[in-house]
Structure 1
Amino acid sequence: MTRFDDHDTVWLFGYGSLIYKTDFAFLERRPARLRGWTRRFWQGSHDHRGTPDAPGRVVTLVPRESAICAGVAYRITPAIFAPLDHREKNGYLRLATALTLDDGRDVEGVVYIATADNAAFLGPASKQAIARQIAASHGPSGPNRDYLLHLADALRELGADDPHVFAIERELLALVQRTLA
């Protein structure tokens, strides 16, 4: 957790709400890729997009050798970790990792990952079950569906294809349509 404390700046990789909700100071923002990890809606959110009794679902990264996860890298000062650690407190830990920036440079950076051994980890489920849980969940940061829809839009803006996120988005929108019919 203190590996980068003596650095002037650090690259932070965002792959979920950090892509579209930048409520922290940064010096530079660039599209980036993280190799060997894939984004999944497998982490429970008891504090932002759900409650302890009815957790929402948010993304984490799970290892997959051939995967490339598209996201955004922010060059930040280490002082920004304190508020980010609070924001990412529900099961996420910092991990040092290699990132590839959109200009082709490989840099060392940090990513927040919620691993399967944290208490809020929900694990895999069908895209239909995940979409139903997201549709029903609401927490202090708002409806869980807003998280999913903002993330899907942000990935499209990056030109990133994420079959998992987009499949759950399609299921959620179909569920909403059926509810309105």
Structure 2
Amino acid sequence: MSMWVFGYGSLLWNPGFEVAEQVRGTLPGWARSFCMRSIHHRGSEIEPGLVLALDAAAHAACDGVALRVAPGTEDTTLAYLRERELISSAYLEKMLHVDLSDNRRVEAVTYVIDPDHVQYCGGLPLEEQAQIIAHAHGGRGPNSEYLYNTAQHLTDMGVADPDLDWLSRRVAAILV
């Protein structure tokens, strides 16, 4: 049985594990948004940044990528992902069905936001998101770099995300 991981943010451009297959996929019932305050990777406790998370939304669907983990590396991959994604317990690890672009359906390890966690901040206005992203910096670098990399990889995949496109333009303007 193959292990799959669903990527919708930094996993698109920095999976950090050996990928045997990569297929565009859609996760029904979830929306990608900057709804998690980042106090480690892209911000600090003093000046939190924002990172993408999946927020449950009945009529939404998130386009991203399904990554099939290289056979024999499942245990080390899962340990790596848990260390990376569950650093502050704001994400919940779930096994969710992803519809692949080649008409397969797989169950994938997916990290979604815990709406009851203190780092959850769903519904922030885009301008407020842009101001936070423009100024935050964490252990993995500037928050703006995370935004730009994710937006560019979605564009390269042919995935339209108007909010990320607007945020990219706005943050670039703030940083001029």
Distance 1:139 1:65 in 2: 32
Gaps of 5+ in 1: 1-7
CA RMSD in angstroms comes to 1.3
Is 2:84 aligned against 1:87? yes
User: Match for 1:78 among 74, 77, 89?
Assistant: 74
- Structure 2 residue aligned with 1:117: 116
- Structure 1 position 78, deviation (Å): 3.0
Q: What is the number of residues matched between the two proteins?
A: 170
Contact 1:39 1:164 in 2 (8 A): no
Distance 1:164 1:82 in 2: 32
Q: Residue deviations 1:89-109, cap 9 Å, x none?
A: 231121111101120111222
Distance 2:123 2:84 in 1: 23
Is 2:45 aligned against 1:52? yes
Question: Aligned to 1:128, what secondary structure does the other structure show?
Answer: helix
- Structure 2 residue aligned with 1:165: 164
Which amino acid is 2:80 matched to? Answer: P
- Structure 1 position 115, deviation (Å): 1.9
Q: Residue deviations 1:56-99, cap 9 Å, x none?
A: 10001112222221111111253111110011023112111110
Which amino acid is 1:142 matched to? Answer: G
Q: TM-score, normalised by structure 2?
A: 0.91
- Structure 2 residue aligned with 1:5: none
Deviates most, 50-59 or 116-125:
116-125
Moved over 6 A (4+): none
Contact 1:137 1:143 in 2 (8 A): yes
- Structure 1 residue aligned with 2:141: 142
Report % sequence identity: 36
Distance 1:62 1:140 in 2: 24
- Structure 1 position 174, deviation (Å): 2.4
- Structure 1 position 142, deviation (Å): 0.2
Question: Aligned to 1:131, what secondary structure does the other structure show?
Answer: helix
- Structure 1 position 19, deviation (Å): 0.4
Distance 1:72 1:168 in 2: 21
Which amino acid is 1:121 matched to? Answer: Y
What aligned pairs does 1:27-42 form with structure 2 within 5 A after superposition? 27-42=20-35
Distance 2:31 2:45 in 1: 26
Which amino acid is 2:84 matched to? Answer: R
- Structure 1 position 25, deviation (Å): 1.6
Q: TM-score, normalised by structure 1?
A: 0.89
Q: Residue deviations 1:142-164, cap 9 Å, x none?
A: 00000000000000011001122
